[in-house]
Structure 1
Amino acid sequence: MNNFKLLKYAVLSCILLNFASCKSIDIKEKVENKTVPENFGVISSDTLSVAKINWKDYFTDEHLQNLIEMALQNNQEMNILMQEIDITKNEIRIKKSEYLPSVGIKAGTGFEKAARFTNIGAMEATTNIAPGKEMPEPLGDLGIGLVANWEIDIWGKLHHAKNAAIKRYLATVEGKKFMQTQLVAEIAQSYYELLALDNELEIVQQNIEIQNNALNVVKLLKEAARTNELAVKRFQAQVLKTTGLQYQIKQRIVETENKINFLVGRFPQTIQRTTTGFEKLIPTKISTGIPAELLTNRPDIKKAELLLEAAKLDIKYAKARFYPSVGISAGIGYGAFNPSYLLKPESLMYSLAGDLMAPLLNRNAIKAEYKNANAKQIQAVYNYEQTVLMAYVEVVNQLSKIKNLENSINLKQQEVDALNQSITISNNLFKSARADYMEVLLTQREALDAKFELIETKMQQMQSSISVYKALGGGWN
């Protein structure tokens, strides 16, 4: 009886010691700031963000739609990310499996010869398997059975690990959506850049024709002794300069086409595109909604939020490691020294055991992991807040850019119209010897530059409408 009491007190002391050693350190988690301004710098009555519009409805150009469709299927970076999603999904399966007992089948064989002058050897020498039948020597050992081990998740450690894996899986899904918004926007911007380059090339070719006509006029005037060789050479140089410019534009067209081909996931080929009406393109009207919608519309913000939630669960997992783990192990099967006895009822063997284990000597390592988890949670908070801030700034910048570009285009169009009239006037004045040839050349050069600037500004306007669509969270739905 005294021995039983002693054993009971010993077990109780061990349990109390374990729990005493399980006390964790408390670290206060940082709370993220989710507040955003009420509007994007101006009072807006928009109730629906343009980000809600499907990209097929936002981009109505059929050729552009086809390019985006192909890119979403064939883009290599997108396909790489899809494999990352599968990896994180498998991580969930791994964490879920830790909830269940690990069950396996175990079979083995062997033999052993114990020394005669040992306790086992002495017992074997004086033991008979059956009346008149001595213990075989060496002694065989055959066994087959099931074994199982199970950690009982009392403190939620495995539960937190599984939920953290789920959050990271969902974050990769949001990452895929964000990549899609990036991909859709990049293809659309490159497509409109290509249309702009086509228009620039057309303008250059038109100017080459105009300048060649002017050169022919100057040659005739020289023959009539109404001008000199210097004027002829200056007009000829201007024609050569403009002719050389078209090859620079052609090279840019090839590079832009191949950029789109790369995004689409195919080898270089001609990009099918709309060839007329670029100057008359009108960007889609932008409705911004309220800034708070960014938190749900932007996949990168949702990804940062999910990673933050996973980091919080990692802290709970690390904290649960301070507490004792409870495990159960069990086994059942048959064992014998001879195959003929293996399946007899007397050969049945089984075991069932439970254990309680708490960290004692390795608490410093667990503390370090706990502090690391907390530091990563703080990092995740800053990353989330930075992502929200960056999204808001992007929208404000693009809205301002769209407004300023619209005003710039109106003024630039008036400049182009005025310079086009100046070309005709200067040519007529030069023919009648009332203007110097330098005035004609300067007018032609200014008109060409103004037309280029108008096309570039129009391209920036179209690209800004794409950028604000992406900044508001559009392109993934």
Structure 2
Amino acid sequence: MNKHIITKSLAAAFIVLAAWGCKITEPTSRAERTGTPESYNGSQDTTNVTEVKWSEFFSDPNLRALIDTALANNQELNMMLQEINVSNNEIKARKGEYLPFVNIQAGAGMDKVGRYTRYGALEANNEIKPGEEFPEPYTDLMVGAYASWELDVWKKLRNAKKVAVFNYLSTVEGKNFMVTQLVAEIANSYFELMALDNQLSILNQNIGIQKDALEIVKLQKQAAKVSELAVKRFEAEVAKNQSLIYNIHQQITEAENRINFLVGRFPQPVARNSSSFEQMTPQLIKAGIPSQLLANRPDIRQAELELEAAKLDVKVAKANFYPSFRITAGLGYNAFNAEFLFNSPQSMLYSLAGDLMAPLINRNAIKANYASANSKQMQAVINYEQSILNGYIEVANQLSKINNLEKSYDLKSQQVSALTESISISNSLFRSARADYMEVLLTQRDALESRMELIETKMDQMRAMVNVYQALGGGWTRPE
């Protein structure tokens, strides 16, 4: 009869606690994911340049060697790899939480009770034969195994483990995104270095031309055809361009050291062949369709995984409102004398218990955690939408830049060709006194600026090629 009453009471308590735990106000959710436009420029061609590995995308062997070294030695990337290990260990820790915990425990103690205490009086007032009374002082020896197991009825622990899995995968995608950035940054710095080498060469060539012009002006001055002013103007122009050489040298040093830092080594010269820079042509970029960004860009994949983890975090926080069930058990030996410690069954002890517990009053902390989990889920949704939007805009900008730079480079090439021819024309006219020295000076200056700008445009073209490759999600190594 008593067992029947106890069973009914426990069942009633469970129903009350479960019902109380389920009284949760569901927040408003907008889990709608942002769609992407159907195409970038009306094309439905799904061929995507990200299918090409970075080792095939970049043909320069020196650049490939730099990238390969950076992927092995870059400190920031190596720190991210350790972060992946931490996330992987978190999965193991979460998995262990919903398995039984078993501990081995051993202990020894000593206790001396007073004659006029409860236990001392009980022993004295009962006739206990000599040798059977408690020893004085009383020793207590124990050895055994104890287990506890929280029943994961509401999947709180299993969902927490899934959260750890998503966080781990998110960290992996974070590493992949870092790889795309690292590859792009090294390539951009490498092309900048080649451009600076070419600008330095052009500057030295121009200085040679200006020195020749300066000698002509000096001869003209001796012949009283020009004044000392013309000589000084040409000398000033030569000195100005000579000073620019040191500025370019400094930029080269900084570009080399930027690359050295990225590849994880101390300053040293960067191997390169800059003579072919002006003949380099950016690769034809196949952008595919925007929906491919969802699979190709690591930062979008990372945001998606963070969103999945945030959804499960809400479920974990919600499960805290529900009753928790725990089973505890113990098995071992307990005696007051080591001689009797392992006597069975006299010294054997065991226990088995179960408990049910749920929050009843003052649940503010649980409610606050639940509200925070929902807010973080909304943040993850917005971050995911923003990642898609940012990815699409980056690709659209770089594709437009490639197109505009191609047209700009063609026109600048025509400008350079015209101004290069005008140098010899102005020199001839100056020798025959049909043009003054300022026309020669300005022509040389314009020709130098145009050639320098042409090199910068070529560098921008190569960078745009790299940047669109990165924006599309290329550069990280996909599993075979």
Q: Give the structure-2-normalised TM-score.
A: 0.96
Amino acid at match of 2:118: N
- Relative to structure 1, is the Cα distance of residues 309 and 4 closer, same or farther in structure 2, using a 3 angstrom cutoff? closer
- In the alignment, is residue 453 of structure 1 matched against residue 439 of structure 2? no
Please report how far the alpha carbon of residue 13 of structure 1 lies from its aligned counterpart in structure 2 after TM superposition: 4.1
Alignment partners' CA distance in 1, 2:129 and 2:281: 102
The corresponding residue for 2:192 is 193
Alignment partners' CA distance in 2, 1:269 and 1:459: 23
RMSD of aligned residue pairs (Cα, Å): 1.5
SS at match of 1:343: coil
The 5 A counterparts of 1:382-421 are: 382-421=382-421
Amino acid at match of 2:13: C
Please report how far the alpha carbon of residue 186 of structure 1 lies from its aligned counterpart in structure 2 after TM superposition: 0.3
Please report how far the alpha carbon of residue 150 of structure 1 lies from its aligned counterpart in structure 2 after TM superposition: 0.6
Alignment partners' CA distance in 2, 1:70 and 1:5: 74
Amino acid at match of 1:360: L
Amino acid at match of 2:110: F
The corresponding residue for 1:166 is 165
Aligned residues of 1:30 and 1:377 also touching (Cα < 8 A): no
Question: Deviations 1:153-204 (Å, cap 9, x if unpaired)?
Answer: 1110001000000000000000000000000000000000000000000000
Amino acid at match of 2:430: F
The corresponding residue for 1:204 is 203
Please report how far the alpha carbon of residue 131 of structure 1 lies from its aligned counterpart in structure 2 after TM superposition: 6.2
- Relative to structure 1, is the Cα distance of residues 130 and 184 closer, same or farther in structure 2, using a 3 angstrom cutoff? farther
Aligned residues of 1:24 and 1:319 also touching (Cα < 8 A): no
Please report how far the alpha carbon of residue 360 of structure 1 lies from its aligned counterpart in structure 2 after TM superposition: 1.2
Amino acid at match of 1:186: E
The corresponding residue for 1:249 is 248
Residue range with higher mean Cα deviation, 118-127 or 91-100: 118-127
The corresponding residue for 2:299 is 300
- In the alignment, is residue 352 of structure 1 matched against residue 319 of structure 2? no
SS at match of 1:140: strand
Alignment identity in percent? Answer: 56
Please report how far the alpha carbon of residue 8 of structure 1 lies from its aligned counterpart in structure 2 after TM superposition: 4.8
- In the alignment, is residue 277 of structure 1 matched against residue 276 of structure 2? yes
SS at match of 1:335: strand
The corresponding residue for 2:178 is 179
SS at match of 1:398: helix
Question: Deviations 1:38-61 (Å, cap 9, x if unpaired)?
Answer: 011x11142211011100111010
Alignment partners' CA distance in 2, 1:299 and 1:169: 14
- Relative to structure 1, is the Cα distance of residues 259 and 389 closer, same or farther in structure 2, using a 3 angstrom cutoff? same
Amino acid at match of 2:142: G
Question: Deviations 1:221-245 (Å, cap 9, x if unpaired)?
Answer: 2112222211111111111111111
The corresponding residue for 1:83 is 82
Alignment partners' CA distance in 1, 2:226 and 2:153: 101
Alignment partners' CA distance in 1, 2:131 and 2:57: 96
Please report how far the alpha carbon of residue 457 of structure 1 lies from its aligned counterpart in structure 2 after TM superposition: 0.5
The corresponding residue for 2:73 is 74
Alignment partners' CA distance in 2, 1:277 and 1:127: 108
- Relative to structure 1, is the Cα distance of residues 77 and 160 closer, same or farther in structure 2, using a 3 angstrom cutoff? same
Alignment partners' CA distance in 1, 2:121 and 2:352: 30
SS at match of 1:349: strand
Amino acid at match of 1:308: L
SS at match of 1:44: coil
Aligned residues of 2:107 and 2:142 also touching (Cα < 8 A): yes
Please report how far the alpha carbon of residue 130 of structure 1 lies from its aligned counterpart in structure 2 after TM superposition: 6.0
Alignment partners' CA distance in 1, 2:362 and 2:319: 14
Amino acid at match of 2:275: T
Alignment partners' CA distance in 2, 1:67 and 1:136: 79
Please report how far the alpha carbon of residue 9 of structure 1 lies from its aligned counterpart in structure 2 after TM superposition: 5.0
Aligned residues of 1:315 and 1:370 also touching (Cα < 8 A): yes
SS at match of 1:410: helix
Amino acid at match of 2:197: D
Amino acid at match of 1:408: S
Alignment partners' CA distance in 1, 2:127 and 2:407: 108
Amino acid at match of 1:342: L
The corresponding residue for 2:257 is 258
SS at match of 2:275: coil
The 5 A counterparts of 1:18-167 are: 18-25=17-24, 26-40=26-40, 42-126=41-125, 133-167=132-166
Alignment partners' CA distance in 1, 2:218 and 2:463: 44
Amino acid at match of 2:414: Q
- Relative to structure 1, is the Cα distance of residues 261 and 130 closer, same or farther in structure 2, using a 3 angstrom cutoff? farther
Please report how far the alpha carbon of residue 333 of structure 1 lies from its aligned counterpart in structure 2 after TM superposition: 0.5
Please report how far the alpha carbon of residue 324 of structure 1 lies from its aligned counterpart in structure 2 after TM superposition: 0.8
Aligned residues of 2:195 and 2:274 also touching (Cα < 8 A): no
Amino acid at match of 1:180: V
Alignment partners' CA distance in 1, 2:411 and 2:132: 115
Alignment partners' CA distance in 1, 2:441 and 2:6: 109
Please report how far the alpha carbon of residue 15 of structure 1 lies from its aligned counterpart in structure 2 after TM superposition: 2.7
Please report how far the alpha carbon of residue 112 of structure 1 lies from its aligned counterpart in structure 2 after TM superposition: 1.6
Q: How many residues align?
A: 475
- Relative to structure 1, is the Cα distance of residues 469 and 8 closer, same or farther in structure 2, using a 3 angstrom cutoff? closer
Aligned residues of 1:85 and 1:169 also touching (Cα < 8 A): yes
Aligned residues of 2:18 and 2:322 also touching (Cα < 8 A): yes
Aligned residues of 2:412 and 2:454 also touching (Cα < 8 A): yes
Aligned residues of 1:71 and 1:264 also touching (Cα < 8 A): yes
SS at match of 1:141: strand
Question: Deviations 1:369-424 (Å, cap 9, x if unpaired)?
Answer: 11110000000000000000000000000000000000000000000000011100
Structure 1, gaps ≥5 residues long: none
Aligned residues of 1:50 and 1:469 also touching (Cα < 8 A): yes
Amino acid at match of 1:447: A
The corresponding residue for 2:308 is 309
Aligned residues of 2:111 and 2:137 also touching (Cα < 8 A): yes
